[in-house]
Amino acid sequence: MASFAPRPIPSPLHLRLAVVGAGAAGLVAARELRREGHGVVVFERGASVGGTWVYTPAVESDPLGTDPARNIVHSSLYKSLRTNLPRECMGFLDYPFVPRGSGGDARRFPSHEEVLRYLENFAEEFGLIESIRFRTEVERVEREVDGKRWIVKSREVGGGGEKKREVYDGVVVCNGHYTEPRIAEISGIDAWPGNQMHSHNYRVPEPFVNQAVIVIGSSASAVDISRDVARLAKEVHIASRSVTGRVPAKVPSYENMWFHSTIERADRDGSVVFHDGSLVYADVIIHCTGYKYYFPFLETNGVLTVDDNQVSPLYKHVFPPQLAPSLSFIGLPWKVIPFPLVELQCKWLAGILSGRIELPLEEEMLKDVKADYQRLEMKGWPKRYAHNFSDFQFEYDDWLAEQCGLPPVEDWRKEMYVVASKNRVARPEVYRDEWDDDHLVEQSYKYFENLVQLS
């Protein structure tokens, strides 16, 4: 199926811009900025596009990945991963994620290989490859002395790689947030004799044959990995804050998997005690506990901070007010449909850099940031939930669309996301293959056909 053809928009400004990362966010950033007529260089430390969607069997030397300086593996994919969103609502707004050609995965909830193929097709169709410097790592980003432009220092990945120092009018940070692990704090864990790892380093279940495994977390990765491991492990115990009702409780449809409350402590005899009073002798603990925002290359002289995973201050989760619009961050929100959200962020960013869309004054942006903090406090959420958009992603998407002069996100896409989320909770074992929203699938494909006719 064809997509919208690129439509360059006349712009009075022609800037030289650096984009850090060639995952989904970096690719759509490059497209939107190029459409405005800007010069774009995308820095990608890997050998291909796709970012976190590039699967590798390689893992970190430290299974917990607690030392960011030693972490070299970008991807956190496990081999069996399939999307937890239906492809119709997952794709970019003007480039449908539909089966293309032969040899792909046409399932509605496809494998990670299919998502990577989609991003590769996107990069090729919009001519983005020519703007990407592969195997090039950004080592430092800092402002020039006069504060007007940005110095970007990079090097070729590999021994003796060439180093460069260049100056850009702006920097767009798209380096993802699924690389630096967050680890659960467990009393007594230092004396516990078992093994630990983070889901960042989980690939296949074979290493856990006949072992007793504890999985910490309730996210999509915790659900998937616990099921994957249970195929070969002796037993699997899921420790989660989200578990309600009596615990421990056997997971429906499984004879070797149980829900527990959170962990109270780990003891030197190999036991792990849960707050529900149960005790398990375990061989390994897998932390499916999320990731940290990490920008080791970025120097802002204290203007921007990351405190308990809150990147601040950021206007609309994109611009540091004091450095706007020359420094921006794309793709920080989570609990969202990521591709449409980052596309709208990038359209907004591109319009601002071209002078077609105006940002508020710095003081007004800071006032908006403060209101964001107050909303977080009113919800009783900790700082680490600052970029959790579970309650207002579509309100945010539609605001961005309005700023860009675009219509709101399609109703069928919003409804499909809600229905799929409910189905995932109701049928966790089969939601990827059984659903009740065929009417929404039909609406989506009619919409895609209209896109083709308009292109």
Contact 227, 253 (CB under 8 A): no
**Residue burial 391-408, b: 16+ Cβ < 10 Å; e: rest:** eebbebbbebbebbeeee
Three-state SS at 177: coil
pLDDT band at 281 (very low <50, low <70, confident <90, very high): very high
Number of residues in the chain = 455
Q: What are phi and psi of 200, to 5 degrees?
A: -55, -30
Question: What does the pLDDT look like over 208-233, one tens digit per residue?
Answer: 999 999 999 998 999 999 999 999 99
Q: What are phi and psi of 279, to 5 degrees?
A: -135, 140
Looking at residues 281-293, what average pLDDT do you find?
96
pLDDT value of position 8: 42
Q: CA nearest 148: which of 323, 350, 361, 359?
A: 323
Question: What does the pLDDT look like over 357-389, one tens digit per residue?
Answer: 999 999 999 999 999 999 999 999 999 999 999
Q: CA nearest 261: which of 237, 233, 234, 285?
A: 237
Chain mean position to CA 379: 23
Q: How many angstroms separate the most distant Cα atoms in the chain? A: 69
pLDDT value of position 26: 98
Three-state SS at 220: helix
Looking at residues 271-293, what average pLDDT do you find?
96
Tokens 């990490």, residue located: 294
pLDDT at 156 over 50: yes
Residue 361 has what DSSP assignment?
A: P
pLDDT at 2 over 60: no
Return d(Cα 14, Cα 229) in angstroms, integer.
Answer: 52
Give me the amino acid identity at 403: Q
Strand partners, 168: 150
Return d(Cα 327, Cα 171) in angstroms, integer.
Answer: 5
The rounded percent of the chain whose pLDDT value lies above 70 is 96
pLDDT at 72 over 90: no
pLDDT band at 247 (very low <50, low <70, confident <90, very high): confident
pLDDT value of position 4: 44
pLDDT at 5 over 80: no
Please, what is the end-to-end C-alpha distance for the chain in angstroms?
11
